[in-house]
Chain A
Amino acid sequence: MDLSSAEKVVIIGGGQAAAQACASLRLFGFTGSITLIGEEAALPYQRPPLSKAYMKGELAEERLYFKPAAWYEDQNIDTVLSVRATKIDRSAQIVELEHGGSVPYDALIIATGSRPRALPVEGADLDDVFDLRDLADVERIRPQIISGHKMVIVGGGYIGLEAAAVARQMGLDVTVLEMEERVLARVTSPIMSQFFTDEHTRQGADIRTGARLASLKGADSKVTQAVLADGTELNADIVLVGIGILPNVELAEEAGIACSNGILTDQDARTNDPRVFAAGDCAARPLVHYGRKGRLESVHNAIEQGKLSAAAIMGKPRPTEDCPWFWSDQYDLKLQIAGLSQGYDETVVRGDPEDRKFAVFYLQNGKLIAVDAVNSPPEFLASKKMIITGARLAPETLRDTSKSMKEIAATTA
């Protein structure tokens, strides 16, 4: 559908994908009205620092925001904040709002993001049990980051481990509970899981794998203990929950837009309704370098789909789709990830984990599909390019540290 005559774009959501869509629409020359409907009180801000520098108090709040308030005024973008959209009426082309009223659209971008998976145990509603998703969560957490306090983190994923690193650096006693047999089980290889377990252990965190939380106990409505399935009781002054996120697809689903673990989109971020787009955590998109559809929870994805939807609305050529990429900061380790490792049949380690500077490459039938690079930007950046071109690499070539990544990449070009 040609939307080049669209005059009204509505964006549901106020995160990174929404902010990018606003910026890209204006950059592509859209002069009509833009309305951003955000459930949170804050203008769009960066989430990654929430479990890193911002939690640690090293980054001022104003530095989290993508754009200052004045920018939205200058760009004539109407921000409707602290308001929930309650319904998408596709035949009337309006979005209904919780306190009454509605906003009409010619094109709609759903960027509703995701929400933390709720902790399914007794005591989850006690005080000082926190999710770590929003600015408001971190505002509540930060006063409890007190040296000597006991923190129990439920979930050994990236969020949990990043929070563990911050808490250890701030002098808290930290225990991480991971249900699986290793941390980061869903996202990386056993080699990386072991490396991060060793690092956190060395830093004084207690990493417990195969540990299932049974309940949280409290006194005067405040959490005091975490009880494991095997009966172990751990004292806790604060509990952080990082057990994954769920895409916010309900608005789309109720409006009859096709969903399957995410709002289904085509390569232009367009849903099965040609006037409706989906971007960011909530969308399940074609993963063009992998020949399948999937949902990505990342900055790269939010930016890219924000751009793709804006370009499609404006009838601009589709921006080039990058290789998916991610990063995580823990202690002085920078982990940079390019590609998606699911389905690998071979791993190749370059460098030595002992040096705290190494990379794990993931191959599938000899083709490079992903890399986890610890303090190794060349391995990350070279792989990002090689994954897109479908480079085939011999394990011994990747392992050979006498050759630079530039030299290795040149052999595949």
Chain B
Amino acid sequence: MATIIYVDHEGTERPIEATNGESVMEAAIKNSIPGIDADCGGACACATCHIYVDEAFMDKVGSPEDMEQSMLDFAENVQANSRLSCQISVSDELDGLKVTTPESQH
């Protein structure tokens, strides 16, 4: 279990208890977190689950693989801490992870 804190683009924080092994995207969808669309359901096919990872967790979250990176290159408003949340797997280590959703996924 890990608490993941989703912050929307206006700064509202929504903490969620996420299960180990599910993705940061799945935990968001199950809990109706606004700002994450995840149209493809986690197949790394659509780039609509873009989030910004809190700087303090960048090392723990790791870096994107090639496929994800090239998807991210075409997302809107990409930053150095951008990730696709379907590609981040929840673990105890990520307890307290804060991620911010962009204003739009499309």
Contact = CB atoms under 8 A, between A and B. Distances in A.
Contact of A49 (B30, B39, B41, B67): B41
A312 B24 CA distance: 31
B22 interface: yes
B46 A48 contact: no
A300 B39 contact: yes
B43 A329 contact: yes
Contact of B47 (A375, A376, A381): A381
Given A320-B106, A378-B74, A71 B41 contact: no
A340 to B, nearest CB: 17
B71 A334 contact: no
A375 B69 CA distance: 12
A281 B30 CA distance: 24
A49 B40 CA distance: 10
B79 interface: no
Interface string B16-55: 0000001000100110101000011111111100000000
Given A66-B29, A381-B71, A381-B74, A322 B106 contact: yes
B70 interface: yes
Interface residues of A, number: 29
B13 interface: no
Contact of B73 (A67, A300, A406): A406
A358 interface: no
Contacts of A325: 46
A46 B67 CA distance: 22
Contact of B39 (A23, A68, A303, A329): A303
A234 interface: no
Contacts of A300: 39
Given A71-B32, A377-B74, A381-B74, A299 B41 contact: yes
Contacts of B106: 320, 322
Contacts of A329: 43
Given A68-B30, A325-B46, 11 more contacts: A67-B30, A67-B32, A320-B106, A327-B40, A327-B45, A377-B47, A377-B71, A377-B74, A378-B70, A381-B47, A381-B74
Contact of A67 (B29, B34, B71): B29
Contacts, number: 57
Identify the 4 closest CB pairs spanning chains A and B, nearest first: A381-B74, A327-B45, A377-B70, A46-B41
Interface of A: 23, 27, 46, 48-49, 52, 63, 66-68, 71, 299-300, 303, 320, 322, 325, 327, 329, 334, 336, 375-378, 381-382, 405-406
Contacts of B42: 63
Contacts of B45: 327, 334, 336
24 contacts: A23-B32, A27-B34, A48-B41, A48-B43, A49-B41, A63-B26, A66-B41, A67-B29, A67-B30, A67-B32, A71-B30, A71-B32, A320-B106, A322-B106, A325-B46, A329-B43, A334-B43, A334-B45, A334-B67, A376-B70, A381-B71, A381-B73, A382-B74, A406-B73
Interface in B51-85: 67, 70-71, 73-74
A23 B74 CA distance: 27
A213 B67 CA distance: 39
A27 B29 CA distance: 13
A376 B34 CA distance: 29
